[in-house]
Each structure stands twice: as structure tokens, then as C-alpha cells.
């Protein structure tokens, strides 16, 4: 079975990043994570970051850099992690996909529960060096 491709958008604003709680309309509701979503056919990673963020939380972002790759814990998706700037605008969550959204420090993210192990690895091991 071929792997799906997805992006993870680490949205940065004033030293904080946006964490969302997965909403009722998606798999594994209740988990905290950065905004993420699958890459559509013919779409670049950069374009997917912009589109997914707009769809899920209503922000217009500027992708900065791809910083990591990982796999989902079930192995179904390869995740392409991007940092992106979200300097302005209000978060307007899509109620199906996003139960809650908050700007947190990396340390605060690690205290949210539950989070995916792969996300925890990013915040502990990758983000401190960016």
C-alpha cells in the first residue's frame, strides 16, 4: 500500500505556536497537534500548508522552511513538517476539524494531553534547534 503524503504546519507568532485539538469530524478526535492535512494531487507541499491552514483555522500564512519528515504512528502517512509565519489574523476554527485552538509555547504544548508521540518528538528534539 502506498503511503499518503501530508503536511504539518508549525505556525509561529510572537514566540508561540498554534496547537489545535482534533474535532469531532476527523479520526482520533481530542488529540492536540499542529495544523496538518493531506497533500492534494498536483499540489506542492508549500501550497498544501497554505490551503490546510486556511481551511482549518482561517489564517493566511507564509510558509518558511521544511524542517523535518516523519511518519504517522500507523505508518499510513509521511509527514512533511513546515514552519510558517502567521503574524496577523484571528483564528477561526472549522468546527468539524478543530475542537479548540490555542497559541502555546513549546513547553506548554508538551503538557497538553493527549498528543501523538511523533509530535512530542518534534517538540522535544527538533524545534529547540530551529
* Residue 50 contacts residue 80 (beta carbons within 8 Å): no
- Residue range 37-80, pLDDT digits in tens: 999 999 999 999 999 999 999 999 999 999 999 999 899 999 99
Closest CA to 103 of 7, 37, 12: 12
User: How many folded domains does the chain comprise?
Assistant: 1
**Domain range enclosing 67:** 4-129
CATH number at residue 47: 3.90.79.10
Which pLDDT does position 130 carry in this prediction? 84
Using pLDDT thresholds of 50, 70 and 90, give the confidence band for residue 108: very high
Contacts 24+ apart (CB under 8 A), 74-79: 75/3, 76/3, 76/4, 77/3, 77/4, 77/5, 77/6, 77/38, 78/3, 78/4, 78/5, 78/6, 79/6, 79/7, 79/8, 79/36, 79/118
- Residue range 4-47, pLDDT digits in tens: 999 999 999 999 999 999 999 999 999 999 999 999 999 999 99
**Which ranges constitute the DSSP H helices of the chain?**
45-57, 106-111, 117-121
pLDDT tops 80 at residue 1: no
pLDDT tops 70 at residue 104: yes
Taking the model in full, what pTM does it have? 0.95
Amino acid at each position: 500500500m502506498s503511503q499518503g503524503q501530508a503536511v504539518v504546519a508549525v505556525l509561529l507568532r510572537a514566540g508561540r505556536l498554534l496547537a489545535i485539538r482534533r474535532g469531532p469530524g476527523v479520526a482520533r478526535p481530542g488529540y492536540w497537534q499542529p495544523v496538518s492535512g493531506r497533500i492534494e494531487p498536483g499540489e506542492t507541499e508549500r501550497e498544501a500548508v497554505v490551503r490546510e491552514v486556511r481551511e482549518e483555522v482561517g489564517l493566511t500564512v507564509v510558509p518558511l522552511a521544511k524542517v523535518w519528515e516523519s511518519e504517522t504512528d500507523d505508518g499510513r502517512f509521511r509527514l512533511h513538517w513546515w514552519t510558517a509565519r502567521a503574524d496577523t489574523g484571528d483564528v477561526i476554527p472549522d468546527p468539524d476539524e478543530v475542537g479548540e485552538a490555542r497559541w502555546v509555547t513549546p513547553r506548554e504544548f508538551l503538557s497538553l494531553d493527549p498528543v501523538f508521540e511523533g509530535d512530542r518528538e518534534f517538540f522535544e528534539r527538533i524545534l529547540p534547534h530551529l
